[in-house]
Amino acid sequence: MSSIRLLSSGRGLPWESLIDVVGADSGCLPRVSLRDRIITIRIDELPCPAASILKQCMLSGGADALVHREVLTCRTEKSGAIVYGTPAALRRGCDSLKNQPFGLDEIATRIREYTAEDTRPEFLKVNNRKLAYSETPLIMGILNVTPDSFSDGGNYFSTQDAADQAVEMEKAGAAVIDIGGESTRPGSRAIPADEQQERVIPVIQAIRERSPVPISIDTCIPEVAEAAITAGAGMINSINGMETPGMAELAVSMDVPVAIMHMKGTPETMQANPCYGDATGEVAHYLQSRIEVLVNSGLPREMIFVDPGIGFGKRLEDNLALIRSLEWIGFFTGCRVLLGHSRKSFLKSITGIDTANQRDSVTHIVTALTSGADMIRVHDVPGAVAAFKVSAALRGIS
């Protein structure tokens, strides 16, 4: 079976603003918003005749497909395809693919799925607060209460400093505060449960005395997660995909949402020559397998975030491919997507900026340009908010 991947669902123009500009009836929004929405889909490893049929069927519906230049001459055995068009045109093309050979009927089914309306949840509930999804991703503020995290270790190691920082991030626009008591930088070693609890529980309690801001606990240990939730956290952020025995059952019993991340190896070993054949596909299939375990344990899919794990056992090219594919990962898994790119070393590889806490400016460039993330996890919350404001203003029509 050929690999099929969404490249872009083409959100298109800010039609609400355009309708206001001309004074048109707002009832036309559902109709016009689809007319410039160009969906782009990549299909790999098609037999030459299948690629030719696919192109002709798409053209018949008003869409198109880029295929190998030698498809018509049959001088190539295989061809990839880039299929693109409006949702309606793609669906008409799929109608023509019905009963075609080479598995094209099944490919048509997948294409139709990508043209359908997004059925993922419209909001996330953390600590009894509803966080609504929109064109602008939610912001998760990073609060490491550790002495050795890669960019801010020791900055918020005291309870009071950490609580102050959490309140400041909330004021700046953070929807969730993610608290971790264990460094997961490359080469770091695991911290025992009791030491993690000594670091994070007083901080959670101190924040709860001052603010109802939603809190996520960043840990792979069930005992730490349970203590943190009892103290006032409302979400679990697991860098090992909730693989630790007991974590899935804990999330179900305490009725909290989770973020599951992909990581190759452990923090101590993950950057020791990581290698992938297809990083995006492998990561997405891993996340899907973990979702199935959690759902089968009783956790609703709408309470699960997926995180591709930027920098966790990835090469530069893997990180870039995953960031480009966030939208597809969301469609493939049926879950909302969390992106943790803040100050990561792949930004150093691109820019040469060696000091982690000086990479906020390039972090914000990724924040503003990336599509497909429903929540971003960052150190500099005010900077992320500013990046979103500028991005939104540039997309608007005045």
What pLDDT shows up at residue 248? 97
What pLDDT shows up at residue 398? 52
What pLDDT shows up at residue 32? 83
Confidence at 1, pLDDT banded by 50, 70, 90: low
Percent pLDDT > 70 in the chain is 96
Q: Would you call 5 a catalytic residue per the annotation?
A: no
Which tens digit of pLDDT belongs to each residue from 49-91? 999 999 999 999 999 999 999 998 888 899 999 999 999 999 9
Strands 258-261 and 235-238: parallel
Q: Where are the domains of the chain?
A: 4-115, 123-395
What pLDDT shows up at residue 269? 73
Confidence at 397, pLDDT banded by 50, 70, 90: low
Q: Would you call 344 a catalytic residue per the annotation?
A: yes
Residue length of the chain: 398
Which tens digit of pLDDT belongs to each residue from 13-57? 778 878 888 899 988 888 888 778 899 999 998 999 999 999 999
Contact 375, 140 (CB under 8 A): yes
Q: For the CA atoms of the chain, what is the radius of gyration?
A: 23
Tokens of 379: 């150190």
Beta bridge partners of 142: 178
- Rounded to the nearest integer, the mean pLDDT of the chain is 91
CATH topology of domain 123-395: TIM Barrel (3.20.20)
Reply yes or no on whether the pLDDT at 274 is more than 90.
no
What pLDDT shows up at residue 275? 84
What pLDDT shows up at residue 241? 96
User: Residue 168 contacts by C-beta under 8 Å, 6 or more apart in sequence?
Assistant: none
Confidence at 152, pLDDT banded by 50, 70, 90: low
Which tens digit of pLDDT belongs to each residue from 288-342? 999 999 999 999 999 999 999 999 999 999 999 999 999 999 999 999 999 999 9
What pLDDT shows up at residue 324? 94
Tokens of 273: 């020559």
Closest Cα partner for 137 from 127, 128, 124? 124
Residue with tokens 């460039």: 365
Contact 376, 139 (CB under 8 A): yes
Catalytic residue among 112, 377, 389, 395: 377
pTM of the model: 0.88
Three-class SS string for 7-21? EECCCCCCHHHHHHH
Which tens digit of pLDDT belongs to each residue from 154-181? 555 689 989 999 999 999 999 999 999 8
Contact 32, 79 (CB under 8 A): no
Burial 320-355 (b: 16+ CB within 10 A, else e): bbbbebbbbbbbbbbbbbbbbbbbbbbbbeeeebee
C-alpha separations of 388 from 30, 136, 141, 311, 360 in Å: 25, 7, 15, 23, 14
Q: How far apart are CA 170 and CA 141, in angstroms?
A: 8
Catalytic residue among 55, 336, 344, 359: 344
Mean pLDDT on 258-273: 84
Reply yes or no on whether the pLDDT at 153 is more than 60.
no
